[in-house]
Amino acid sequence: MFVFSLKSNKKRIVIMAVMLIMIFCALFFTRNSKMPASRDAGINLKASTAEERIAFLSQFGWKIKEDPVKVEEVVIPAEFNETYENYNRIQQTQNLDLEKYAGKTVKKWSYDVENYPGYESENSCIRANLLIYEGAVIGGDISSLEQNGFMQGFDFPEVTTEKAE
C-alpha cells in the first residue's frame, strides 16, 4: 500500500486557487475576444480585404457590385434595446452573436446586391451589410431599402417556380 501525504497550509491553498482562477480567466477571455463568433467549418469568415468580403458573400450565392456603397464605423451598444435584440436574433440564426462584441466599435461595409430573386432589374434596391471586427465577419444582413422592406440573414432565398397549367 502506498500513502502519499502533503503538508498544506491555508496560504498555499489560497495561492493555488488564485493561480487556477487567473489561468481560467486568461484562457476564457483571450479565446472569446480574438475568435470570430462562428466557427462553422463550411463558412469562411475572413473579411480583411475587398476580395475576402466579396468571397464571403459569394459563398451564399450573392453577386454584388465590387465597390461598397458605404463604409462606416458602428458601435455595438453595451446594452441591447429591442431593435438590437431583434437584429441579433437574425445573427444567431447564422451562428453569429453580437452580444460578444457589445461596446466594441466595428466597421460596417454595405454593398449593392445584383441578383436577389425578383429584384434583379431593380437598381440599388437590395443591400448586403457586413459587420467586421478584426478582419472577420461578426454579423450582417441582406435587406431591402424599400419602404416596408425586409431584412434577412446571408442565406440565399429559396426560389420556387410554379408551373402554369
**pLDDT, average across residues 84-98:** 97
Question: Residue 35 and residue 138: Cα distance in Å, rounded?
Answer: 10
**pLDDT, average across residues 82-108:** 97
Question: Residue 49 and residue 40: Cα distance in Å, rounded?
Answer: 20
**pLDDT, average across residues 140-146:** 96
Torsion of CA 153, 105, 137, 80, to 10 degrees: -30
On the question of pLDDT at 34 being above 60, the answer is no
Amino acid 122: pLDDT = 72
On the question of pLDDT at 37 being above 50, the answer is no
Domain boundaries along the sequence of the chain: 37-152
Does the CA dihedral 20-23-25-27 come out positive or negative?
negative
Q: What is the pTM of this model?
A: 0.71
Amino acid 13: pLDDT = 62
Q: Strands (DSSP E) along the chain, which ranges?
A: 70-75, 105-112, 126-133, 136-144, 151-152
Rg, C-alpha atoms of the chain: 23
